[in-house]
Amino acid sequence: MFEKFYPDEYYESSYVVPYEDLYAAGYRGLIYDIDNTLVTHGAPADARSIELIERLKAIGFDITLLSNNKQPRVDMFNADVHVHAISKAGKPKTEGYIKACELMGTTVDTTIFIGDQIFTDVWGAKRAGIKSFMVKYIDPHEEIQIILKRRLEYFVLKEYFARKKAK
C-alpha cells in the first residue's frame, strides 16, 4: 500500500552507510538533507559531519546538500564542508534532485539521496529516479509539522520493515 514511499535502504545513521561499497558499485554522487540527517536541526557542521564529508571526498564522491531550508541556514552548515548546496529545494518536488545531479555531473543512476524524512526526502528522490536511503533522525525534538509527519511515517515504516523481514 505504501510502496511508493519506501526507501531503498534504511540505516540507523548517515555515519554507518557503507560508502566504500557504494563507490565500488559505481555510485559517484551523494545528495544529503542536512537537519536531523547530518546534524541536529539548525546546527552548524560539527566535527563528525566535517570528518564524514572529508572522508567521502577522499573516496571520490561529489556531494550536494539539498534542503528545504532558507539559504542562510544551508550556508551556515556548508561554510565548513564546502560542497554543492541547494536551499529552498521544495522537496518532494524533483527539480532540486535533478539540479543536484547536474551540479555534480552525475546521473540519477549514479547518485544516492540520504535523508531522514519519508514524505519529503525519500519520496522526492524516488520520484526523481534516484536511489534513496533513509536514516533514523538524530534528535526527536522537532517542529510540530515534522512531529505530525513522523506519526504518519510510523505506519509506512512499520509496513516497510515487516515486508523486509518477510523476504
User: pLDDT digits over 137-159, tens only?
Assistant: 897 766 767 777 777 788 888 88
Q: What is the pTM of this model?
A: 0.92
DSSP code string of 66-123: E-SS-HHHHHHHHTTT--EEE-S--TTSSHHHHHHHHHHT--GGGEEEEES-IIIIIH
User: pLDDT digits over 11-57, tens only?
Assistant: 999 999 999 999 999 999 999 999 999 999 999 999 999 999 999 99
CATH number of the structural domain spanning residue 43:
3.40.50.1000
**Domain interval for residue 11:** 3-166
Q: Provide the domain count of the chain.
A: 1
